[in-house]
A and B are shown apart, each in its own frame.
Chain A
């Protein structure tokens, strides 16, 4: 086997398998984490009976969804009905191809394996494009159900996702200005080079950028307080009403996968990726090599930060009421987009001295 085949075919294949499996498990346990964390915030316990302290609950949930009857509505468009969950899950999973989980490549059996599947130099653009494809799946799901309410729900979801793409993109533009590159790996390396996370960047810390991205990500993934299209107490049912069993599980999988993806992107763009938590000030020299030299320590810091972002997602869900749909759209168009534009302009001005 030539070193080229090894480097460009075998290693990525193995990486894909590993990342896919880990992500699926992570999504399942994220569901449990959500239930437990929200329960603790509500002074109660979450699931406790299945497994020790409830740890096998996701397995039970998955089994249940597997063995449910697979109903397809009579008049539904079979092809579209089949494809819709696929069109939602695939972009979510495919986006993980450009996420770097750590900084330093490690060697295995003589081959150097980087802790990312691939590093294209337009990684950020790729991410934005791929996540936008998820809207197709939502619209297809609503259409294929051949029922008034899922269709309305899916159109609302789609409109919500599309309108919040704009502030999302603009907050990412400010990061592009600061780092000068669209490659995910190089963005973190730019933060290391400048010695500070972009969140604490001087003279203009990207707090507003983080806020914008986070709020837009909440709206993109249909999470509280923007989850009206899929809330249980509302009249117009969500786009996934007609789905049951494994297909329904795929929608949920996609939602939580998007959550994790948003957490990863926030960490990389604003929180320094795999860089250690030293409050924005990175030491130089041998200490820095120790702190973020090894792959595992980088992975540890990355996971810690992603966990914190996900915790914030759950925290917000437990606390705030829901916005009504028109208030949601008004917030996106009238408040977030002007704020995002202003933010980009200020970032650009602040970045002038650096050239």
Chain B
């Protein structure tokens, strides 16, 4: 505007809508975005390095704190990798319990996403309504393992404790109320012309481009690629459960919104099925006292709420892992942000950050 047309602005680490400490360097031409450069690392705590000095059961607490919104999925993928390395069999009751909790965690994570995304675009009330529902899920988690955010709710070989008395009924009560709440969010947003104007056609990601970037999770499925790890590489009790995997067609922000809303509905369906099919039995398999997996390496992934959450573990036969690398979905999805935002206006950046659903703890570890 004053002479040159291109300018570089900094959407600094402290900003109300960057969902954590994300720094974006925007290259603008007037109001059009030419390029976006995410600068990450402001929340790097060295979790993986710290984990190298801890034994396998001790390092679970670090997984809680990486993706703190979907902590249970992180716990689960870490523990499942160790179980596969050890060759331990997990009893069926523990498998079903894990599925119930993982799907509840998915609903909670998507509710947080919806609330913050809507808040960034201006619909303030949806944020509060989503958190009201999320409170109920966090109460369920508190009743089960004692914490609301950093669960530590899986043990190697099974689960720490069984569900308390009345937990299944409370979970069912939540599932009964939830569809009407989802309908409320739909009424507030889905056909709202302002919402449509802000999200339709914004941030289109073609299917093949998404695959090139390594995007996974709802972002990938909204672009039309049918890849859900619960179906593609089934783990835990998923092969025995029936659910639909929603797919989008255009790959824009609106599609990603619709896909995640539908995923919440399907997660609720899975929770009800798993609660109904919950077998009796023990909750912890036979695991040695000191966990010493044999020498070897393994990559295992599961479908976290944000995408493919993977653990690559290298064990050298001792009590601590030689290297445990976490493939974080947010870090990989964030790569697609420049692609999504090219050609859009500055005001769309907040919508785009919201739609790829990043949690900085997961990006930075």
Using CB atoms and an 8 Å cutoff, list the residues of chain A in contact with chain B: 38, 41-44, 148, 152, 224-225, 227-228, 231-236, 317-327
Contact = CB atoms under 8 A, between A and B. Distances in A.
Contacts of A225: 122, 194
A232 B9 contact: no
A257 to B, nearest CB: 23
15 contacts: A38-B124, A42-B124, A42-B127, A42-B128, A225-B122, A227-B122, A233-B119, A317-B124, A321-B118, A321-B195, A322-B194, A323-B198, A324-B348, A325-B347, A326-B345
A313 to B, nearest CB: 14
A319 B188 contact: yes
A314 to B, nearest CB: 11
A321 B11 CA distance: 22
Contacts of A326: 345
Contact of A232 (B16, B118, B123, B132): B16
Nearest to A320: B194
A41 B124 CA distance: 10
Closest A-B pairs by Cβ, 9 of them: A322-B122, A42-B128, A321-B122, A233-B17, A321-B123, A321-B121, A324-B347, A321-B194, A42-B125
Interface in B28-44: none
Contacts of B64: none
A323 B194 contact: yes
Interface in B94-127: 118-125, 127
B346 interface: yes
Given A42-B124, A320-B194, A321-B122, A235 B346 contact: yes
B9 A235 contact: yes
B114 to A, nearest CB: 12
A133 B330 CA distance: 49
A17 B192 CA distance: 45
Contacts of B346: 235-236
Contacts of B128: 42-44
B235 interface: no
B125 A318 contact: yes
Contact of B125 (A41, A231, A234, A327): A41
A233 B120 contact: yes
Contacts of B16: 232-233
A322 B121 contact: yes
Contacts of B185: none
A34 to B, nearest CB: 12
A233 B15 CA distance: 8
A320 B192 contact: yes
Contacts of B195: 321
Contacts of A44: 128
Interface SS majority for chain B? helix
Nearest to B199: A321
Given A320-B194, A321-B121, A322-B122, A233 B129 contact: no
Contacts of B194: 225, 320-323
Given A41-B125, A43-B132, A235-B11, A321 B347 contact: no
Interface of B: 1-2, 9, 11, 15-17, 118-125, 127-129, 132, 188-189, 192, 194-195, 197-198, 345-350
Contacts of A318: 124-125
Nearest to B119: A233
Given A234-B347, A318-B125, A324 B197 contact: yes
B251 to A, nearest CB: 20
A152 B348 CA distance: 17
A156 to B, nearest CB: 10
Nearest to A317: B124
B46 to A, nearest CB: 31
B125 A319 contact: yes
Contacts of A234: 347, 350
B341 to A, nearest CB: 13
Nearest to A227: B122
A320 B197 contact: no
B349 A235 contact: yes
Contacts of A232: 16
B118 A43 contact: no
A138 B194 CA distance: 26
Nearest to B188: A319
Given A228-B347, A235-B346, A324-B347, 18 more contacts: A38-B125, A42-B125, A42-B127, A43-B132, A44-B128, A148-B2, A227-B122, A233-B16, A235-B9, A318-B125, A319-B123, A319-B188, A320-B192, A321-B121, A321-B122, A322-B121, A324-B197, A327-B197
Contacts of A236: 346
A38 B122 CA distance: 13
Nearest to B26: A235
Most chain B CB within 10 A, of A42, A320, A325, is at: A320
A243 to B, nearest CB: 20
Nearest to B9: A235
Nearest to A325: B347
A282 to B, nearest CB: 37
B177 to A, nearest CB: 14
A235 B18 CA distance: 11
Given A228-B347, A233-B120, A236-B346, A323 B197 contact: yes
A264 B123 CA distance: 27
Contacts of B198: 321-324, 327
B111 to A, nearest CB: 15
A221 to B, nearest CB: 16
Contact of B129 (A43, A228, A323, A325): A43
A233 B16 CA distance: 6
Contacts of A38: 124-125
A40 B277 CA distance: 40
A317 B123 CA distance: 8
Given A320-B194, A322-B194, A231 B129 contact: no
A42 B119 CA distance: 12
Contacts of A233: 15-17, 119-120, 122, 350
Contacts of B132: 43
Contacts of A324: 197-198, 345, 347-348
A237 to B, nearest CB: 11
